[in-house]
A and B are shown apart, each in its own frame.
Chain A
Amino acid sequence: MINLTINQKPYSIDADPEMPLLWALRDLIGLTGTKYGCGVAQCGACVVHLNGEAVRSCVTKVSRAAGQKIVTIEGLSKNNDHPLQLAWNEISVPQCGYCHSGQLMSAAVLLRENPNPTDQDIDNAMAGNICRCGTYPRIRKAIHLAAELQKKEREAK
């Protein structure tokens, strides 16, 4: 059995250690917010956080995640109120939406490490997340908005 902590909850799964984490998340645990895109770390649809860092779960083996802290889109916030989620909603960023759990998880790492990102910072952080619908301008706009929301949130505390 392999022990994982996902969204602050402990899970014990009977899985091959070589299994991609994405398979475990979706098929064994039932967290289907994380999407399968390319399977070879080329698109970013499957990004989750492993100990706070963005990883592509399609190529991350369960063995790498064992005993570590994983956060998926379902655990990004308690009430879908992460500044990025609010901004995504405000601007209606997604078109088909398939890539957006990965987009949000990547953007969350950016905002944590750089609370006031420039356009270049956003490009540097998000260049590995592909959107077939081409929502990139709205993604950029929403990240800037989320940065403002995050700042206000912190000031209010």
Chain B
Amino acid sequence: MIMSIILTMVGLMAFAWHTGNRKEILSSPVVVPIKKDSIASVKAFEKVYRVLMSPRCMNCHPSGDIPLQGDDSHLHEMFPKRGKDGKGLFAMKCGSCHQPSNTPGKHSPPGNPEWHLPPADMKMVFQGKTAAELAKQLIDPKQNGNKSMKQLLAHSEDGLVRWGWQPGEGRTLPPMSHAEFKKAWETWLNNGAYAPKSKP
């Protein structure tokens, strides 16, 4: 009798917990795919995180308002500032030096037609974020540039993202190929976009 009461209580608590989670997911503007595999998702995000925290990605997702530079992610020489739209300030706009394509030679400005930081009202910081924090941030439209799940999936093919694998002379590549990254990115998202557990 006591055992059956305990089991019933555990069952009710589990239902309540599950319902609570579902409510949280349903209230999110991001459409979460039906297929869910938290193990595959979290495992894929480990790869995604390694790429996003590499200098080619993180340098333009700084915690401050000055971009980072180089494989050691030091503050950008000349201290250009983010500006409201992420494209710099006054005579120090990104496009002042960064051209539509990489300028040849070591220590020359890398380039892309869309070169910019995230805007001031949504900084999309990578620097200093744990895997758990970054995963949650990436799927939150209030923190990811208002991107839907569909837009997030497409983002791995964004021109500026792809630039990371064509960064010009003297810059190391992300720790895996773009194809491998894209596969991990899609696996993470398509399996429920689970965040790794936060470390205590």
The answer, among A42, A59, A64, A109, for a CB contact under 8 Å with B90, is A109
Given A106-B92, A113-B90, 15 more contacts at CB 8 Å?
Answer: A40-B109, A41-B96, A41-B97, A47-B96, A56-B96, A56-B97, A60-B99, A61-B99, A106-B90, A114-B90, A121-B90, A124-B90, A125-B89, A127-B80, A128-B91
Distance A129 CA – B78 CA, assembled complex (angstroms): 8
Contact B105 A127 (CB under 8 A): no
Contact A53 B96 (CB under 8 A): yes
> Would you mind naming 24 contact pairs between A and B with Cβ atoms under 8 Å apart?
A40-B103, A41-B97, A41-B103, A47-B96, A53-B93, A54-B96, A56-B96, A56-B97, A59-B97, A59-B99, A59-B108, A61-B99, A64-B100, A105-B91, A106-B90, A109-B90, A114-B90, A121-B90, A124-B90, A127-B78, A127-B79, A128-B78, A128-B80, A128-B96
Query: How many A-B Cβ pairs are below 8 Å?
Result: 69
- Please classify how large the interface on chain B is, using the bins under 10, 10 to 19, 20 to 34, 35 or more: 20 to 34
CB distance from B83 to the nearest CB of A (A): 9
What residues of B have a CB within 8 angstroms of the CB of A125 in the complex?
Answer: 89-92
Contact B91 A107 (CB under 8 A): yes
Contact A127 B92 (CB under 8 A): yes
A71 CB-CB contact with B under 8 Å: no
A55 CB-CB contact with B under 8 Å: yes
CB distance from B194 to the nearest CB of A (A): 41
Distance A128 CA – B90 CA, assembled complex (angstroms): 11
What residues of A have a CB within 8 angstroms of the CB of B99 in the complex?
Answer: 59-61, 64
The answer, among A59, A105, A113, A128, for a CB contact under 8 Å with B103, is A59
CB distance from A59 to the nearest CB of B (A): 5
Main secondary structure of the interface of B (DSSP, over half): loop
B183 CB-CB contact with A under 8 Å: no
What residues of B have a CB within 8 angstroms of the CB of A110 in the complex?
Answer: 90-91
What residues of B have a CB within 8 angstroms of the CB of A121 in the complex?
Answer: 90
Main secondary structure of the interface of A (DSSP, over half): mixed
Distance A60 CA – B96 CA, assembled complex (angstroms): 9
Residue of A nearest to B83 (CB): A124
B81 CB-CB contact with A under 8 Å: yes
Distance A110 CA – B79 CA, assembled complex (angstroms): 16
Distance A107 CA – B100 CA, assembled complex (angstroms): 24
Contact B108 A106 (CB under 8 A): no
What residues of B have a CB within 8 angstroms of the CB of A114 in the complex?
Answer: 90
| A-facing residues in B69-92 (Cβ within 8 Å) | 77-81, 89-92
What residues of B have a CB within 8 angstroms of the CB of A105 in the complex?
Answer: 91
Residue of A nearest to B81 (CB): A124
| B-facing residues in A40-78 (Cβ within 8 Å) | 40-42, 47, 53-56, 59-61, 64
* Given A40-B108, A53-B96, A109:B103 Cβ within 8 A: no
CB distance from A31 to the nearest CB of B (A): 19
Contact B91 A47 (CB under 8 A): yes
What residues of A have a CB within 8 angstroms of the CB of B105 in the complex?
Answer: 40
Contact A106 B109 (CB under 8 A): no
The answer, among B81, B91, B95, for a CB contact under 8 Å with A106, is B91
